[in-house]
Copies of this chain bind each other. A is one copy, B any other.
Amino acid sequence: MQAIGTKRSRQREKIYQVLKKTVAHPTAEWVYEQVRTQMPRVSLGTVYRNLHILTAQGKIQELDFGEGLHRYDATVNQHYHFVCEHCGIVMDLDVPPQQDLHDRVRDLVPGKVTGHRLDFFGVCTACLSKS
Chain A residues in contact with chain B, CB under 8 A?
62-66, 70, 80, 82, 84-85, 91, 93-95, 98, 101-102, 104-105, 108-125, 127-128
- A63 (CB) vs chain B CBs: closest residue: B66
The number of times this chain is found in the oligomer is 2
Partner of A111, one of B104, B112, B113, B124: B124
Partner of A98, one of B82, B101, B108, B122: B101
Extra pairs beyond A112-B122, A114-B121, A115-B120 (7, CB < 8 Å):
A64-B66, A80-B105, A85-B114, A93-B105, A116-B119, A117-B117, A117-B118
Name the B residues within 8 Å of A65 (CB-CB).
Answer: 64
Name the B residues within 8 Å of A102 (CB-CB).
Answer: 120
Name the B residues within 8 Å of A94 (CB-CB).
Answer: 108
